[in-house]
Structures are given as structure tokens and as C-alpha cells.
């Protein structure tokens, strides 16, 4: 039971899907940095239009984007609200709500907008990239950094997403077993949780031990795994275009 779907990937074959993951990762980082450095309304407008164009190209359904933004709406509202009340009032201007300033509201709106832009960038990236190819890309970048165990980090990356559904399976099993024994009849929520968490962790630990053994039996080693990733002219074009957008925002 993977009730919580924590994978964002939407299978597809759009121009965005086809960009080499390593290059796509660089593009995402460039765009994110640009976003956190720019400050004018025009910058935001320009970038938002470009991103929406990408989004359209990726073939992802719009409800997808709205759903993603829904997770963030509270955070965004909070930012706007707090900002609106936290700048010193401009002398002379009269506003009937104590503490509220227009400049504060404006800066809150911009901060909120920035958040929206970053969310779109992330969604564009994770929505069009398979986790396994993201892992390979990350491993590829990290293996250039001396002293960093790139292969192990790659392994942990994978394992985390392998283990999550296993924990849900165990949790479901245990909660069924406990329902049968009427544990949920107990009022105290902490007691209920400890009845759940202890067996859950005990079973998952045992499973982790078996997993380590199974990996060992398949000759687990921490040599860097060569991958057959290739970049084409198309990938470099995508990188060039992103660089152009970012450069444009910086220079103007």
C-alpha cells in the first residue's frame, strides 16, 4: 500500500523529458539561484512566462501544478501576511489597520511569488525525471569531488526510496494485527503510537539486516558505477537557452 505517493515523476517523452538528467539538474540549479537573487516585478514576470512555456512543453497537466501549489498555499499566505505587518510604516500614509503597510504587502507578495516560481522549477524537474536517472546524475557529479563516497551516496539515495514502501507495508500489517486486538480502543494517543512504533521499528530493523546481507550476497561494492549516459547537441542547446535566460535576468 503506497498510500502516500511520494514520487512526482510523470512518464512522458516531451522535449523536457528528453534532456539529459545531468544537464537538466544544472538548469534547475541555475534557475533556482537566479530566482533567489532577482528582485524586480519584471524579472518575476519574465521568468514565470518562460517557466509556464516549459511547463506547457513538458506536457504535464495543469491540475498537477495546482495540486503542487496547494501544498504550499498556507506557507505562501503566511509569508504575505507576516511581511505585510512587519515593515515600519511610511510617515504620513494613513492605513486603518494597525501595523499594516503597503510596502510590506508588496514585499510579501514578491516573496510569495518567488516561492511559487521555485515550486514550478522543482516540479518541472522532478515531474520529468525518473528517480533512478536522477540518482545516476547525482552520483556522476559527486564522483568528481575527491574524498566523497559517491557510490555510497548513490546507494543511500536508492535505498531510501526502496525502504519507504516497505515501511508502509509493515505499518499496514501491524495496524491490521492491532485492530484485530482492539489496540485502537485505547484513548491515550501516545500509548497508541508506542504500540505501533515499537513493533514497526523492530520489524523494519530486522528487515534492514536481511537487506544488508542480501546486498552483500550480490557482491555489494562501493566502486563508482559507470553509466551509459550520453549528452547530445540537443542537451547543450537546452543548457545554452537556460543560461541565456538567467544571464538576461542578471544583466538587465
Q: Is 173 exposed, middle or buried (0-12, 13-18, 19+ CB in 10 A)?
A: middle
Q: Which is nearer to other proteins, 72 or 94 (CB)?
A: 72
Cα 181 → chain centroid: 39
Q: What sign does the CA torsion over 246, 250, 251, 252 have?
A: positive
Q: Cell 534547475 maps to which residue?
A: 28
Min CB(212)–other proteins separation in Å: 5
CB 48 within 8 A of CB 112: no
Min CB(170)–other proteins separation in Å: 10
Q: Which is nearer to other proteins, 143 or 225 (CB)?
A: 225
Min CB(93)–other proteins separation in Å: 20
Q: Does 193 help bind other proteins (rule: CB under 8 A)?
A: yes
Q: Which is nearer to other proteins, 67 or 179 (CB)?
A: 67
Identify residues 20-49 at the interface with other proteins (CB under 8 A).
Answer: 25, 28, 32, 36
Q: Cell 538576461 maps to which residue?
A: 248
| Cα-based distances in Å from 90 to 106, 107, 145, 202 | 13, 14, 50, 60
Cell of residue 9, nine digits: 515523476
Q: Which stretch binds other proteins (CB under 8 A): 43-51, 55-63, 82-90, 237-245?
A: 82-90
Give dist(CA 157, CA 139) in Å, integer.
9
Q: Which is nearer to other proteins, 206 or 247 (CB)?
A: 206
Q: Cell 505585510 maps to which residue?
A: 84
Min CB(135)–other proteins separation in Å: 7
Q: Does 100 help bind other proteins (rule: CB under 8 A)?
A: no
Q: Which is nearer to other proteins, 46 or 168 (CB)?
A: 168
CB atoms within 10 A of CB 133: 16
From residue 42 to residue 81, the character string flagging contacts with other proteins as x (rule: CB under 8 A) and all else as - is -----------------------------xx--x--xx--
Q: Cell 538567467 maps to which residue?
A: 246
Greatest Cα pair distance in the chain? 76
From residue 128 to residue 167, the character string flagging contacts with other proteins as x (rule: CB under 8 A) and all else as - is --xxx-xx--x-------------xx-xxxxxxxxxxxxx
Give, as one character, the DSSP assignment of residue 89: P
Q: Cell 509556464 maps to which residue?
A: 52
Indicate which single residue of 92, 97, 205, 252 sits in contact with other proteins (rule: CB under 8 A).
205
Min CB(78)–other proteins separation in Å: 7
Q: Does 102 help bind other proteins (rule: CB under 8 A)?
A: no
Amino acid at each position: 500500500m503506497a498510500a502516500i505517493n511520494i514520487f512526482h515523476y510523470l512518464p512522458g517523452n516531451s522535449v523536457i523529458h528528453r534532456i539529459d538528467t545531468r544537464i537538466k539538474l544544472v538548469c534547475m540549479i541555475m534557475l533556482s539561484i537566479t530566482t533567489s537573487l532577482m528582485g524586480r516585478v519584471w524579472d518575476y514576470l519574465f521568468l514565470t512566462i518562460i517557466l509556464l512555456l516549459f511547463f506547457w512543453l513538458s506536457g504535464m497537466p495543469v491540475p498537477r501544478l495546482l495540486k503542487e501549489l496547494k501544498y504550499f498555499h498556507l506557507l505562501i499566505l503566511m509569508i504575505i501576511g507576516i511581511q505585510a505587518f512587519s515593515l515600519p510604516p511610511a510617515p504620513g500614509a494613513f492605513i486603518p489597520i494597525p501595523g499594516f503597510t503597503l510596502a510590506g504587502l508588496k514585499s510579501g507578495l514578491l516573496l510569495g511569488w518567488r516561492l511559487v516560481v521555485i515550486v514550478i522549477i522543482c516540479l518541472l524537474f522532478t515531474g520529468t525525471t525518473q528517480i533512478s536517472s536522477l540518482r545516476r546524475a547525482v552520483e556522476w557529479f559527486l564522483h568528481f569531488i575527491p574524498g566523497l563516497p559517491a557510490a555510497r551516496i548513490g546507494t543511500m539515495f536508492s535505498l531510501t526510496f526502496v525502504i519507504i514502501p516497505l515501511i508502509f507495508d509493515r505499518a499496514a500489517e501491524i495496524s491490521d494485527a492491532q485492530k484485530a486486538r482492539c489496540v485502537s480502543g485505547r484513548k491515550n494517543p501516545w500509548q497508541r503510537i508506542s504500540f505501533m512504533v515499537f513493533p514497526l521499528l523492530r520489524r523494519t530493523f530486522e528487515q534492514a539486516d536481511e537487506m544488508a546481507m542480501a546486498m552483500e550476497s550480490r557482491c555489494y561494492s562501493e566502486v563508482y558505477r559507470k553509466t551509459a549516459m550520453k549528452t547530445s547537441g540537443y542537451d547543450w542547446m537546452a543548457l545554452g537557452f537556460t543560461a541565456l535566460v538567467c544571464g538576461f535576468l542578471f544583466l538587465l
